[in-house]
Chains A and B, each alone.
Chain A
């Protein structure tokens, strides 16, 4: 744990690289100095709220927009000035963008026709792609005669038909209903493993990112806040925003004690002095800090932080207890199901310092 900054990933693989990529629309930076390095294969999810710049980053990669500054490199080749139709990447659009005047097979064949492949080879490749997405029987259908899930699969087959080195997916499951989405997530994952193509997926849904991705890049206001595996982001968030995005979290503010990145430090809080692990460098001693603690990392103990059990919620695999603390705040603790104290009882909460993260505090966090 000596990473100086969560965004600075060592340039080891360099399949798809973003170097200080910035895109301004007028004075407003939609993408602001993004550095990112993606390995070949695997699924990378860009996660963030709408307007955070994740779709713009995708469009920059596809070539629909040119960066205002910075570089995008694919296998070491600078993509600057390369128009979309000459980039070895393909995109699956959020709206699917299926050509309404072509049938399903015609849609899948479109990119292959542009490559000037022979008729028999195109027919063969189209059949192969339709088999891949289980739409063999639908080649002659018009897109408007398909269900949403079928359209999504046609869009996927069309984008994969040219065997791109990188497949960009813009909210690929956004238009599907919930049940279909979960099923399709698994299919997408399996498809990626089979083909080995690098997938870059844009999504606003943290749960979806956690299911799909090998690595997740969290974006906010045009900046890449933190990139890493889902477990990294969940267990070792770098900011309050990342901590809150990937699940429930208890936050306790205070003043940082002595120490630095990679150490257990103290935090002077209204609940008294607490200790937690500083993964990414929360700030200098004396500056404001935050302690982030997942509810499942809190346990009832014989001694610890005193509080009053307010209520409990039974969720099957766990029980969520709301505990009122001495200063009036409420902490949530997720406990294994079983007999516990009744609401109204006095309890003590405890946690291991390594299980809690120290984050920068203050208004900027």
Chain B
């Protein structure tokens, strides 16, 4: 292995700066003592303390966390089941097509997903609010769970399942005592991924939410149109922290499962 060329280091630094510069700037300004977003006036945590007094923002944060938890739970359950059903042990006609159909929402434009769900809810006469967001988020995060779990299932040694059956375990017991413990890291990683995707989403939530169910990204977006305040920087920093932790957790779990 030869050492990377100095130019390669420079290219890497440039790339990383391009990716993370704006975010670092946001994080830095969230600790700015000044109310003016563009003028640095010394270090302060006053905007973080002030967040708790901002009722609507706290409400939105709670809605977001609840939606993320509920939709991630639903997506984890359905995504894991989909992964198990589509797992390659038993071949059946249409399996590649069905696999494609499960993965398609990953590349579907969010506007389309949001619009079609809106049409569905309106058509069925379902009042829009908290639960419609949960269902909408579960439909588009499910495929990510399925991908992560399926990748782990593919690495699972089939002989382990045969061995469990051979030692007297009925199929349900094989799943409970061998399959599930071994894919658990991937299932949890899928949950964390679904959780962050739900927390981040603005477009789909905007389509399917109703009165009283405003998520944090929706709240931030509407406030930014009135001007960026240091409070927004502060809550965004918290959001970045939460997402980073979840993604880190997911990747650690995925790596450990290998």
**Which residues of A come within 8 Å of B, CB atoms?**
62-64, 83-86, 89-91, 93-95, 97, 99-101, 110-111, 114-115, 158-159, 162
Instruction: List the 5 shortest-distance A-B pairs measured between CB atoms, nearest first.
Output: A111-B167, A114-B168, A97-B159, A97-B163, A84-B165
With beta carbons under 8 angstroms apart, the residue of A100, A101, A162 that contacts B167 is: A162
- The reply to whether B165 and A110 contact each other, CB–CB distance below 8 Å, is no
With beta carbons under 8 angstroms apart, the residue of A89, A97, A110, A115 that contacts B162 is: A97
Alpha-carbon separation in the docked complex, A84 to B168 (Å): 7
Alpha-carbon separation in the docked complex, A105 to B173 (Å): 19
B18-49: contact bitstring with A at CB < 8 Å (1 yes, 0 no)?
A: 00000000000000000000000000000000
Alpha-carbon separation in the docked complex, A101 to B182 (Å): 7
- The reply to whether A93 and B164 contact each other, CB–CB distance below 8 Å, is no
Task: Specify which chain B residues have a CB less than 8 angstroms from the CB of A84 in the assembled complex.
Answer: 162, 165-166
> Which of A83, A97, A111 lies at the interface centre, i.e. has the most chain B CB atoms within 10 A of its CB?
A97
With beta carbons under 8 angstroms apart, the residue of A89, A99, A162 that contacts B178 is: A99
- The reply to whether A85 and B169 contact each other, CB–CB distance below 8 Å, is yes
- The reply to whether B162 and A162 contact each other, CB–CB distance below 8 Å, is no
- The reply to whether A91 and B173 contact each other, CB–CB distance below 8 Å, is no
Of residues 141 through 173 on chain B, the ones whose CB sits less than 8 Å from some CB of chain A are 157, 159-160, 162-170, 173
A61 shortest CB reach to chain B, Å: 11
- Known contacts: A64-B162, A93-B162. The answer to whether A110 contacts B167 by CB under 8 A is yes
Total A-B residue contacts, Cβ distance less than 8 Å: 62
Task: Specify which chain B residues have a CB less than 8 angstroms from the CB of A91 in the assembled complex.
Answer: 162-163, 166
With beta carbons under 8 angstroms apart, the residue of B159, B164, B178 that contacts A95 is: B159
Alpha-carbon separation in the docked complex, A64 to B168 (Å): 13
| 9 A–B pairs (Cβ distance < 8 Å), ordered by A | A62-B162, A64-B165, A90-B167, A93-B163, A99-B160, A99-B178, A101-B178, A111-B168, A115-B168
Task: Specify which chain A residues have a CB less than 8 angstroms from the CB of B177 in the assembled complex.
Answer: 110
A164 shortest CB reach to chain B, Å: 9
Task: Specify which chain A residues have a CB less than 8 angstroms from the CB of B160 in the assembled complex.
Answer: 97, 99
Kindly state whether residue B56 has any CB partner on chain A within 8 Å.
Answer: no
Kindly state whether residue B96 has any CB partner on chain A within 8 Å.
Answer: no
Task: Specify which chain B residues have a CB less than 8 angstroms from the CB of A99 in the assembled complex.
Answer: 160, 163-164, 178
Kindly state whether residue B241 has any CB partner on chain A within 8 Å.
Answer: no
Task: Specify which chain B residues have a CB less than 8 angstroms from the CB of A95 in the assembled complex.
Answer: 157, 159
Closest A residue to B165 using CB positions: A84
With beta carbons under 8 angstroms apart, the residue of B157, B167, B182 that contacts A114 is: B167
- The reply to whether B164 and A110 contact each other, CB–CB distance below 8 Å, is yes
Closest B residue to A59 using CB positions: B162
B165-190: contact bitstring with A at CB < 8 Å (1 yes, 0 no)?
A: 11111100100011001100000000
A160 shortest CB reach to chain B, Å: 11
Alpha-carbon separation in the docked complex, A108 to B167 (Å): 10
Alpha-carbon separation in the docked complex, A115 to B170 (Å): 11
> Which of A86, A111, A159 lies at the interface centre, i.e. has the most chain B CB atoms within 10 A of its CB?
A111
Closest A residue to B161 using CB positions: A97
- Known contacts: A97-B159, A97-B160. The answer to whether A90 contacts B166 by CB under 8 A is yes
- The reply to whether A85 and B166 contact each other, CB–CB distance below 8 Å, is yes
Contacts beyond the supplied A97-B157, A114-B167: 10 A-B pairs with Cβ under 8 Å: A64-B162, A83-B165, A85-B167, A93-B163, A97-B163, A100-B182, A114-B173, A115-B168, A159-B166, A162-B167
Task: Specify which chain B residues have a CB less than 8 angstroms from the CB of A63 in the assembled complex.
Answer: 165-166
B210 shortest CB reach to chain A, Å: 44
With beta carbons under 8 angstroms apart, the residue of A85, A93, A100, A162 that contacts B170 is: A85
Alpha-carbon separation in the docked complex, A114 to B163 (Å): 12
B220-233: contact bitstring with A at CB < 8 Å (1 yes, 0 no)?
A: 00000000000000
Of residues 113 through 163 on chain B, the ones whose CB sits less than 8 Å from some CB of chain A are 157, 159-160, 162-163
With beta carbons under 8 angstroms apart, the residue of B159, B168, B178 that contacts A85 is: B168
Alpha-carbon separation in the docked complex, A86 to B167 (Å): 9
A313 shortest CB reach to chain B, Å: 43
Task: Specify which chain A residues have a CB less than 8 angstroms from the CB of B166 in the assembled complex.
Answer: 62-64, 84-85, 89-91, 159
Alpha-carbon separation in the docked complex, A158 to B160 (Å): 13
- Known contacts: A95-B157, A97-B157, A114-B173. The answer to whether A85 contacts B182 by CB under 8 A is no
Closest B residue to A110 using CB positions: B167
> Which of B163, B164, B167 lies at the interface centre, i.e. has the most chain A CB atoms within 10 A of its CB?
B167
Task: Specify which chain A residues have a CB less than 8 angstroms from the CB of B181 in the assembled complex.
Answer: 101
Alpha-carbon separation in the docked complex, A19 to B25 (Å): 78
B176 shortest CB reach to chain A, Å: 11
Task: Specify which chain B residues have a CB less than 8 angstroms from the CB of A97 in the assembled complex.
Answer: 157, 159-160, 162-163
Alpha-carbon separation in the docked complex, A110 to B182 (Å): 15
Of residues 169 through 222 on chain B, the ones whose CB sits less than 8 Å from some CB of chain A are 169-170, 173, 177-178, 181-182
Alpha-carbon separation in the docked complex, A239 to B187 (Å): 55
Alpha-carbon separation in the docked complex, A354 to B216 (Å): 94
Closest B residue to A62 using CB positions: B166
Task: Specify which chain B residues have a CB less than 8 angstroms from the CB of A101 in the assembled complex.
Answer: 178, 181-182
A287 shortest CB reach to chain B, Å: 46
Alpha-carbon separation in the docked complex, A84 to B162 (Å): 8
Closest B residue to A168 using CB positions: B166
Alpha-carbon separation in the docked complex, A97 to B173 (Å): 17
